[in-house]
C-alpha cells in the first residue's frame, strides 16, 4: 500500500493466460474498459464502473471470437470494429454496444470509422473511392451530414483527461525510466537487468523517500512499453500483462 489513506483495486480477467491488449477510458462515466486476448484466438471484454464500484462486463465475448476490437467508449457505449482478415488488419464495420443493457444499440458493416470526433463518428464506405466522409450520431448511427475532407482536421477528437509519464535516458540504476510528478508524489517505472533478462518495477517516492514499490513483470526477454498513467485521481498500471492495478492517490 502507498499509505493508509490510499485504497487499491485489482481488476483482472477470470480466464487464465489472457493478455490485456487495449485499455479505453470513459471520462464522463468513470468507466474503464479493457480488451483481452489469448493464444487460442479468443477475445473478451471487461468494463469496470468506478463511480458505482462494480463490473459492467466481465469476460464478455461476442459471437465473433477474434476479428473484433474495441475502438472507443463514450457515455457507457462501447464502439467496436471488425477486421477483414487475420493478415490485413483493415477495419470493417461498426458495432455500438450499450454497457448497461448489454445489447447492441446499432451496427453497420458497410462503413468504417475515420475518427471519433466530439460531434459524432466520422465514417466512410471502403467500397467507394475516393473516400466520401460523413458524420453519424453516436447513439443511433444515423447520418448527421456529409463532410469535406478539408474539414476533418478542424474536428475535435474525443480525448481522455489523463497524465502520462515522461521517458528519460538510461542510467546506471534503471535501463529505462518513466517519471510522472503528481501533487507531492514522484512516480517512477523502469527496467533492471537481471541475469540476461529484465525485471520491470514501479515505485512511488514522497520527499525522496520510497513509500511504494511493485513489480510489473519478472524475467522478461526484452523491454516493452508497459507503464502507468494517472486518471481521475487514480494511478493505473498493468501487472503481469493480465492484471490492472488501480490505486487512489
110-134 per-position pLDDT tens digit: 999 999 999 999 999 988 888 999 9
The band of 170, judged by pLDDT with boundaries at 50, 70 and 90, is: low
48, pLDDT greater than 90 = yes
Top pLDDT among 154 and 223 is at 154
Q: What count of residues does the chain have?
A: 249
Task: Dump pLDDT digits (tens) for 5-30.
Answer: 456 677 765 555 788 999 999 999 99
Domain residue spans of the chain: 14-159
Which residues, including other chains, have CB under 8 Å from residue 150's CB and lie 6 or more apart? Answer: none
Q: At 149, is the secondary structure helix, strand, or coil?
A: helix
Taking the model in full, what pTM does it have? 0.89
Q: Look up cell 454496444; give the residue.
A: 97
Task: Dump pLDDT digits (tens) for 188-207.
Answer: 998 888 888 888 999 999 99
Q: How far apart are the first and last CA of the chain?
A: 11
Top pLDDT among 39 and 188 is at 188
User: What grid cell was written down for 19?
Assistant: 493478455
Taking Cα atoms as reference points, which of 232, 234, 238 lies closest to residue 248?
Answer: 234
Q: Which CATH architecture fits 14-159? A: 7 Propeller (2.130)
Predicted local distance difference test score (pLDDT) of residue 9: 72
Amino acid at each position: 500500500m502507498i499509505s493508509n489513506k490510499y485504497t487499491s483495486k485489482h481488476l483482472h480477467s477470470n480466464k487464465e493466460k489472457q493478455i490485456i491488449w487495449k485499455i479505453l477510458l470513459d471520462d464522463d462515466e468513470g468507466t474503464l474498459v479493457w480488451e483481452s486476448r489469448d493464444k487460442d484466438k479468443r477475445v473478451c471484454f471487461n468494463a469496470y464502473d468506478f463511480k458505482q464500484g462494480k463490473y459492467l462486463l466481465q469476460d464478455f465475448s461476442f459471437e465473433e471470437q477474434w476479428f473484433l476490437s474495441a475502438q472507443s467508449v463514450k457515455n457507457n457505449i462501447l464502439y467496436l470494429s471488425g477486421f477483414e482478415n487475420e493478415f490485413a488488419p483493415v477495419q470493417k464495420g461498426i458495432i455500438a454496444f450499450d454497457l448497461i443493457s448489454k445489447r447492441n444499440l446499432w451496427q453497420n458493416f458497410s462503413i468504417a470509422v475515420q475518427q471519433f470526433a466530439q460531434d459524432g463518428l466520422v465514417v466512410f464506405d471502403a467500397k467507394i473511392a475516393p473516400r466520401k466522409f460523413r458524420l453519424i450520431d453516436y447513439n443511433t448511427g444515423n447520418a448527421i451530414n456529409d463532410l469535406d475532407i478539408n474539414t476533418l482536421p478542424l474536428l475535435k477528437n474525443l480525448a481522455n483527461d489523463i497524465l502520462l509519464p515522461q521517458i528519460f535516458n538510461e542510467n546506471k540504476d534503471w535501463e529505462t525510466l518513466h517519471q510522472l510528478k503528481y501533487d507531492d508524489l514522484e512516480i517512477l517505472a523502469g527496467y533492471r537487468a537481471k541475469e540476461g533478462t529484465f525485471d520491470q518495477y514501479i515505485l512511488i517516492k514522497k520527499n525522496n523517500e520510497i513509500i511504494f514499490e511493485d513489480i510489473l513483470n519478472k524475467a522478461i526477454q526484452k523491454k516493452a512499453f508497459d507503464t502507468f498513467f494517472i486518471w481521475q485521481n487514480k494511478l493505473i498500471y498493468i501487472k503481469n500483462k493480465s492484471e490492472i492495478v488501480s490505486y487512489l492517490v
